[in-house]
Amino acid sequence: MREVAVVGIGETKFGSLPDRSLRDLVNEAGNKAIIDSGLPKEKIQALYVGNFNSSYLCGQSHMGALVSEELSLGNIPTLRVENACVSGGLAFRMGMMMVAAGVYDYVLVGGVEKMTHRETEVVTSALASAADSEFETTLGATFPSLFAMIANRYMYEFKSPREHLAMVAVQNHDNALLNPDAQMHKKITVEKALTGFPVASPFTLYDCSLITDGAVFAVITTSEIAKSLNQKRPLVEVVGSGHAGDSIQLALKKSLTTFSATVDAAKQAYDMARLSPEDIDFAEVHDCFTITQIINTEDLGFFEKGLGGKAVEQGLTSIEGKLPINPSGGLKAKGHPIGATGLSQIYEVTLQLRGEAGERQLKNVEIGLAHNIGGTAASCSVHILRRR
C-alpha cells in the first residue's frame, strides 16, 4: 500500500443559501480544492462524490457525472457514494484506497448537499430514509426521537446530568464563532440550551444539528508525489482509516450507549496508523445530536464510558483543553450538509495540521482524527491524519 496525502482542500460557506444551486456549490468548493493543490485539472484521474439525497431533495441523481461536468474534468470515471450521513467520509475513504492501491495517482473526492430550499417536512422525510422505514419511521420514529431514547438511556445508566448535553452545545457554538464558514454564529448559554424549543425529550432545538447547504472537496495523491510538489506548507498524510457497520434498527443494537460501528472503525484506523487514542491531539467528531458527541468520544477511546460529559464540563474538550473536540463548531454549529459532512471534518483536520485555521488554530497539533457516522450509528468511518 502506498502512503497517501491530502494536497488540496476547498469548501463553501455553510448555511441556508437560497441563491446557490447544487452546481454552484460544487463549482466553488471543487475549484478551490484543485487550485489549492496546485495541480492542473488534467491530472485528476477519478472522482468520488458523497451525496445523500439529492435525488429526492433536488430531483438530481447521477451526481458523479454532474460534478465532473461542472468542474470540467473530462471523461474520467466518477461515482456517487451514498451511505446516509457518512457518505462524505466514505467517498474520502474510497478515493484514499484507490490511491493507496496504485489504481490512480490523483483523485478528487468531495461531498455536497442542498437542503434548505425544501420545506422542513420534506427534509425530515428525506432524513428519515436513513433509518429503518418498515420498523421505525412508518411507525412515527424520527431521528430526534431515536437519539432522544439514546440520550435518556445514557443519562439513566451513567447518572449523567442533562446539563452535560447543553455544555456540548455551548462549546460547539463558541467554536463556530471563530469559523467564518460556519452556519451558526450565535453564542448561547447552558440555560438557553436547556430552555430552548422542545424537540424530543430531553432534547431542545440546541441539542440538534442544523439543516444545511454546503460542499467540500479534497485532492489526494501519494505522499511521494506530494513531496515533489514543493508546497510551502506541512505535508498532511492519511495514516489510518477504518469503516464499520451495525444494525440500521435501534432496537437490534446490543447497547444504546455504545456505538459498535465507531468502536470497530476506530480500532481499524488506530491499528493501521499504529497509534492509540492517547496519541490523538484533536478530533472532529460526529455530533448530529449533543449526546452523540459524548458517546463518540468515549467509543473512540478518549474518555472512559460514562465520563464523556464530565470531560466537557471540565473543559478538556474545549479549544484550550487537553483534547479539543470539534474546533470547527461541529455539525451542531458549523452545519450538517449531509453528503459533505465527512469531508468537512477532513477539511478542518487538514487546515489545523497545516496551521491555517485562523482564530481557532490549535497549538502544537500533529495528529488529528475525523469521525463520521450514518443513521443511528449504523455506519461509521474514522480517519487519522498526521502532519509531516
Residue of 173, 243, 286, 336 with catalytic role = 336
Domains and CATH numbers, the chain: 4-118+211-228 (3.40.47.10)
d(CA 182, CA 165): 21
Are residues 204 and 197 in contact, defined by beta-carbon separation less than 8 angstroms?
yes
| Rounded Cα distance, 240 and 191, in Å | 39
Supply 321's cell numbers.
Answer: 483543553
| pTM of the entire predicted model | 0.98
Neighbours of 132 (CB within 10 A): 22
Query: What are the strands, taking DSSP E only, across the chain?
Result: 4-11, 46-50, 78-81, 106-113, 198-200, 203-204, 214-222, 236-245, 282-284, 367-374, 379-387
208 tagged catalytic: no
Residue type at 251 in one-letter notation: A
pLDDT of residue 12: 98
Q: Which residue stretches of the chain have pLDDT < 70?
A: none
Q: How far apart are CA 195 and CA 81, in angstroms?
A: 38
Q: Which residue in 58, 85, 208, 288 is the catalytic one?
A: 85
Q: Please give the span between the terminal C-alpha atoms of the chain, in angstroms, as a whole number.
A: 18
Q: Hey, how many other C-beta atoms are within 10 angstroms of the C-beta on 249? A: 17
The DSSP call for residue 217 is E
Annotation says 85 is catalytic: yes
Cα(268)–Cα(321) distance, integer angstroms: 26
Burial category of 268 from C-beta neighbours within 10 Å (exposed 0-12, middle 13-18, buried 19 and up): middle
As a whole number of angstroms, the distance between CA 37 and CA 230 comes to 11
**What local confidence, expressed as pLDDT, does residue 231 receive?**
84
What would the grid cell of residue 10 be?
476547498
